[in-house]
Structure 1
Amino acid sequence: MRFYYTLIATFLPAFALAGKSYDTHLRSRHASRAAGLRIRADDTYVPNATVSNGNPPYHRHEHYEGESFFKDWDFFTGEDPTHGNVNYQSLSNAQRKQLAYVKDGVTVLAVDNSSSVPVGGKRDSVRITTKKTWNFGLFIADFAYMPWGCGIWPAYWSVGPDWPNAGEIDILEGVNNQTWNQYTIHTGIECVLPDNNAGIDALASPMGKTCTSSNGANSGCGYQNNNPNSYGAGFNAAGGGVLVHEWNSWGVKIWFFTRDSIPVDITNEQPNPTSWGTPTAAWPSRDCDFSSALYEHSLVIDTTLCGDWAGSAYGDSGCPGTCQEVVANPANFANAQWGVNYISVYQS
């Protein structure tokens, strides 16, 4: 059985240093997963309607960290669905090539930075997907650092089967020398937010209101976080941070916490979203039936190079030469690494 996944961006600000402008580069991320989805009754979170304010107490359901991290993720080895210049590696190959390993408790997922490839060639990289799927929950990801740089397109996201019907939530994503993070939702059912997300309490800036996505119209509905510590070099210089997305009958909320502002209840493994204040991004179900639009989601972490977004935006990025020329030089990928402290999934 084969499922197809897609990851698509919202309206894309150009990255030139001369000031902020807006572009409409779109990109899609389809992939097959031959192993299929594993769905069990205890993987499904059902919101408790009797709990006030839609904020049920949470307990930790899954925890990915350290030496046991890789046993719970599948390594995708097919052709990059976004037409990037990458060869995705199996677990055994990635470990042998030092592209997937654990160092001092941090799970590292890297792009090859030692081999020369021809201009227009493909460089080894990694894309992983959780073996389990969920319907609703609280997802906490602590990243020590993330990939960034010219030609690089990293993403941490969740997605369901048969895109866009089961929807997609993009939590950490950008391209090239971008300095801000982008949060996006894609749906298969009709879903359009109010103009400028009117009446939605969120800290980030709205970027598009049409969540409904297809291969021909796939910008999604999203937010731009203008905090320079939210993505790339700024994120890494600040020691990384924590991204949380809560998905329940209310809708979807995302919080971003810099390293020095992580709530104590997260550190103590007793997360209480009601104490965290205004979310960074929010999509309430009053505007879209997210209980129907999003289902059976797995988590995905990947790094591709050039491709439909980083490649098409390269000319506006301030990066040298061409994207294909950058890929050919291994020295350009010293910073192309994910450092994952942990990812936890909480359920009610």
Structure 2
Amino acid sequence: MYSTASKVYTVEDWYSGEDFFNKWDFWDQADPTNGLVDYQNQADAQSKGLAYVDQTKNQTVFQVDSWSQVAAGGHRASVRISSQKTYNGGLFILDAEQMPVGCGTWPSWWTVGSNWPYQGEIDIIEGVNGVGVNQMTLHSGTSNACTITKPSNNTGSENFVQFSGSPLQLNCYSTQGADAGCGIKDTATTSFGPGFNAAQGGVYAMLWDTTKGVSMWNFPRDQVPQDITDAQPQPSGWGVAAGYWPASSCDIAANFVDHVMVIDTTICGNWATGAYGASGCPGTCQQMVANASNFADAKWKINYLAVYQ
């Protein structure tokens, strides 16, 4: 890992409470990942109780409808929001008390350009069906311009010295028909789903540096670095990142351009449906959509999202 000890990070944007309603947009179109979800506009999301601020905690809540009757294979109401501002780098920190869990859920926090895949996508939090660990992924639109690098002394093993996670694919190149990208699975059970929630949530951080690369960390609540709590983050002191894509093997500036941030929870869709049985979930994902109580904990509870430069 590279050192960033000499850099002082200052807040560019701090989103909390009502900021997610005033400075973000609600997506109300069909889900591009074919989810069985009906994304709500802001007025409907708020009137239905799917998006609100818990005033006692100044905590913003986005949740899946867990009370309405929906037919098997139907669409259940949920929320997807995107920042009005675009970014080309920075240190992004999300502090959340809870993330959505439950069979059929597919929550994520990511950044993406308007011309996918050519402006790229960076997935910071992603997983399905409320099981396993977090998966971090880069998607680039240029063949062989962005890869995960093996250490120079690699002898065929999958031990990557630059990060603690487990790599899935090496080439980040993505197309409509092959969009896996270059993912890295975290190894910490507190990085996703019930494990994250049981730890009272925590913090995710993504450092997007066009000259050095992209790094990602996550910290359960009792391990959040004091410099993050103090809003004076120093990534150089956070130890080995869970995921790392060095600029030496990935043209960061060319592949990741003008990104908005997105927070969403879809249902079933391409990934969650495909992994449904292997996740230990009963029946089919289409059938689970009809079980309203299954989505009782399909909630984001966000304390803040900060962007530093």
TM-score interval, normalised by the smaller of the two chains: over 0.9
Instruction: State the 1:222 CA deviation.
Output: 1.6
- Output the CA distance in 1 between the equivalents of 2:176 and 2:74: 26
Instruction: State the 1:194 CA deviation.
Output: 3.3
Question: In the alignment, what sits opposite 1:175?
Answer: 128
Query: What is the correspondence of 1:90-109 to structure 2 with a 5 Å cutoff?
Result: 90-103=41-54, 104=56, 105-109=58-62
- Contact kept? 1:197, 1:209, Cα under 8 Å: no
Question: In the alignment, what sits opposite 1:115?
Answer: 68
Task: Find runs of 4+ consecutive structure 1 residues off by over 3 angstroms.
Answer: 52-55, 194-200
Instruction: State the 1:307 CA deviation.
Output: 1.0
- Output the CA distance in 2 between the equivalents of 1:261 and 1:97: 35
Match status 1:255 vs 2:217: yes
1:84-113 Cα offsets, whole Å, 9 max, x none, are 111100111000000000113110000001
Match status 1:126 vs 2:79: yes
Alpha-carbon spacing, 1:135–1:200, altered in 2? closer, same or farther (3 Å) = farther
Which of 1, 9, 26 aligns to 1:58? It is: 9
- Output the CA distance in 2 between the equivalents of 1:215 and 1:255: 28
Which of 143, 149, 152 aligns to 1:194? It is: 149
Which of 259, 271, 288 aligns to 1:326? It is: 288
Output the TM-score relative to the length of structure 1: 0.82
Match status 1:150 vs 2:69: no
Letter in 2 for 1:72: K
Letter in 2 for 1:315: G
Question: In the alignment, what sits opposite 2:171?
Answer: 210
Question: In the alignment, what sits opposite 2:28?
Answer: 77
Which of 269, 291, 296 aligns to 2:253? It is: 291
- Output the CA distance in 2 between the equivalents of 1:343 and 1:177: 22
Structure with more contact order per residue of length (Cα contacts < 8 Å, sep ≥ 6): 2
Counterpart secondary structure, 1:234: helix
Which of 236, 242, 245 aligns to 1:274? It is: 236
Question: In the alignment, what sits opposite 1:238?
Answer: 199
Instruction: State the 1:119 CA deviation.
Output: 1.2
Question: In the alignment, what sits opposite 1:12?
Answer: none
Letter in 1 for 2:13: E
Letter in 2 for 1:157: W
- Contact kept? 1:55, 1:273, Cα under 8 Å: no
Letter in 2 for 1:292: A
Alpha-carbon spacing, 1:85–1:53, altered in 2? closer, same or farther (3 Å) = closer
- Output the CA distance in 2 between the equivalents of 1:117 and 1:53: 50
Question: In the alignment, what sits opposite 1:24?
Answer: none
Match status 1:166 vs 2:127: no
Alpha-carbon spacing, 1:322–1:55, altered in 2? closer, same or farther (3 Å) = farther
- Output the CA distance in 1 between the equivalents of 2:176 and 2:299: 30
Which of 166, 169, 190 aligns to 1:229? It is: 190
- Contact kept? 1:200, 1:283, Cα under 8 Å: no
Output the TM-score relative to the length of structure 2: 0.92
Instruction: State the 1:54 CA deviation.
Output: 8.6
1:222-245 Cα offsets, whole Å, 9 max, x none, are 211121111101110100010000
Question: What is the root-mean-square deviation of aligned Cα atoms in Å?
Answer: 1.5
Instruction: State the 1:67 CA deviation.
Output: 2.7
Gap runs ≥5 in structure 1: 1-51
- Output the CA distance in 1 between the equivalents of 2:173 and 2:161: 18
- Output the CA distance in 1 between the equivalents of 2:112 and 2:218: 20
1:194-248 Cα offsets, whole Å, 9 max, x none, are 3577764111111110101111222111211121111101110100010000011
- Output the CA distance in 1 between the equivalents of 2:166 and 2:233: 25
- Output the CA distance in 2 between the equivalents of 1:114 and 1:161: 34
- Output the CA distance in 2 between the equivalents of 1:56 and 1:213: 33
1:267-326 Cα offsets, whole Å, 9 max, x none, are 111111111121111000111111111111111000011111111211222111111111
- Contact kept? 1:119, 1:327, Cα under 8 Å: yes
Gap runs ≥5 in structure 2: 151-156
Counterpart secondary structure, 1:66: coil
Identity of paired residues, percent?
Answer: 49
